[in-house]
Structure 1
Amino acid sequence: MGIEQLNIEGLKELDREDRGPVVMVNLMRFNESAPDGSGSGWDAYLRYSVLTVPMIKARGGTLLWTGNAKAVAFGRDDGRHWDYLALVYYPSIDAFLEMMSSPEYQSQCDPHRRAACADHLIICTREAYSKFGIAAPRQENL
């Protein structure tokens, strides 16, 4: 569950069709305990967040929202449950790809993400409608 799962070609193709900001929807299921013995999956995720949020901000992005997944509200419950969600704004797909593939992320952040998550899915979205508008988040809201 590492960089080899990053859909670089698919994201670059999407960017050729429609450039601009994106919001990455992160769905996470945590390990009960981190495989590296450093506490719970949640503990590892907190270490990951402390390191990753400044990297996101350095690339013009921001953490928009996080929350605990509570229940399937509509649709088929296929047994794939999530613990936590995060919505992360990036000014471009390139900003996301550059961060994810950077040596700093790979060496400092990704080991904590791997220790935290039993499963991690990221869905790339583009705004179709928003009451709030993501095109240019104000920095004072960070």
Structure 2
Amino acid sequence: MAVDPSDDVLADFLADEPDGPVVMLNLLRFADGGRPRYQQYAKAFGETVAPRYGVEVVYAGDGSAALVAEAGQQWDAVLLVRYPTRHAFGRMLADPEYQQIAHLRRNALSEAVLQPTRPWGRHRPGAGRS
């Protein structure tokens, strides 16, 4: 299962309002023994990369039993992360210091969803789903 965006998907994301802010929904499923590795990644990320790019973790919490979900849709952790711009997100991914810690995240996860969100009222005509 994928845990990082593909180059094509990332290019489309970065081209869509590159100077606009974004809050990223992160749904995480840990690999065996992955939670401590993810915590190591989160600590390194918060101390080095996040301040440089103005990244703010809005919420981080453990998933619990879903009230409404299909089989396999439960997640170990949920994060909401605010990036000042989509461009900042792209620059962060390319940062050599981020690259040095990214393996911790990849090795910690068996599956992930990274879904950019938009505040209500900022939808472009024809861009959203009903």
Tell me whether the two structures share a fold, i.e. TM-score over 0.5: yes
CA contact (8 A) 1:56 1:90 kept: no
Q: Aligned with 2:57: secondary structure? A: strand
Residue of structure 2 equivalent to 1:5: 6
Q: Aligned with 1:65: secondary structure? A: strand
Residue of structure 1 equivalent to 2:45: 52
In the alignment, structure 1 segments of 5+ residues that lack a partner are 33-39, 130-142
For residues 73 and 3 of structure 2, the distance between their equivalents in structure 1, rounded to whole angstroms, comes to 19
**% identity of equivalent residues:** 30
Query: What is the root-mean-square deviation in Å for CA atoms of aligned residues?
Result: 2.0
| Residues 77 and 126 of structure 1: CA distance in aligned 2, closer, same or farther (over 3 Å) | same
CA contact (8 A) 1:23 1:87 kept: yes
| Residues 2 and 102 of structure 1: CA distance in aligned 2, closer, same or farther (over 3 Å) | farther
Deviation at 1:72, TM superposition (A): 2.3
In the alignment, structure 2 segments of 5+ residues that lack a partner are 122-130
Q: After the TM superposition, which residues 36-75 of structure 1 pair with which residues of structure 2 at under 5 Å, given as runs?
A: 40-54=33-47, 55-74=49-68
CA contact (8 A) 2:54 2:83 kept: yes
Cα distance per residue 1:35-73 (max 9 Å; x no partner): xxxxx2111001100111231221112111011111222
Deviation at 1:3, TM superposition (A): 5.4
Q: Count residues with an aligned counterpart.
A: 118
Deviation at 1:105, TM superposition (A): 1.2
